[in-house]
Amino acid sequence: MASTADFRNGLVIEFNNDLYAIVQFQHVKPGKGPAFVRTKLRNLKTGRVIDNTFSSGTRINIARVERRPYQYLYKDDIGYYFMHNETFEQIHVDEALIDNPEFLLEGQRVEIVVHADTENILSVELPPFVVTEVTYTERGVKGDTATNALKQAKIETGGTVMVPLFINTGDKIRIDTRSKTYVERVKN
């Protein structure tokens, strides 16, 4: 058992008979009344973020989770397949457990978060940035706008992302997988 003094970002706790990761927390000591801790908790099964307030010193159960290195192999009708980087064990993962599967490239390294007590897969986390090739986008016309305009581009994984007008088919771009946004064009 731990208490609210042990809170830190990324800590996984058992709350309301489910597993939640602490996204953000703040200790508050008002001038009048007892101290408390405001938190934003992300449900590891649904991905939903909730706000909750704990009284200072409240006892909580910390869940044991492990981050294991895997490599993405391929996708079929059943789901996605990954291989452990050290044991070469292959596992099947349902699409609902993958953060932004539209940015998965074959051979890409990912981290799979596993509940250590039950060996259940909680989520698959992609690296923060991926480099991918634009397979199709409309040509931008010079003088088309006076501000930062964006257009839609299809990437090699099948996903789409909004890019600036100067990006063309065949360009390699860096994408932020957390916000699903264009970051920069990558030189070959």
Mean pLDDT of 61-71: 91
| All structural domains of the chain | 2-62 (2.30.30.30), 65-125 (2.40.50.140), 129-186 (2.40.50.140)
Query: What does the pLDDT look like over 108-161, one tens digit per residue?
Result: 999 998 988 888 888 888 999 999 999 999 887 666 565 678 889 999 988 899
Query: What average pLDDT does range 21-33 have in this prediction?
Result: 90
Confirm if 132 and 173 have CB atoms less than 8 A apart.
yes
Which pTM value belongs to this model?
0.75
Distance CA 26, CA 144 (A): 46
Q: What is the pLDDT of residue 120?
A: 87
Sign of CA dihedral 73, 122, 179, 102: positive
| Residue 150, pLDDT score | 86
State yes or no: pLDDT of 41 exceeds 70.
yes
Taking residues 76-96, report their average pLDDT: 91
Q: What's the pLDDT score for residue 141?
A: 67
Question: Above 90 in pLDDT, residue 90?
Answer: yes
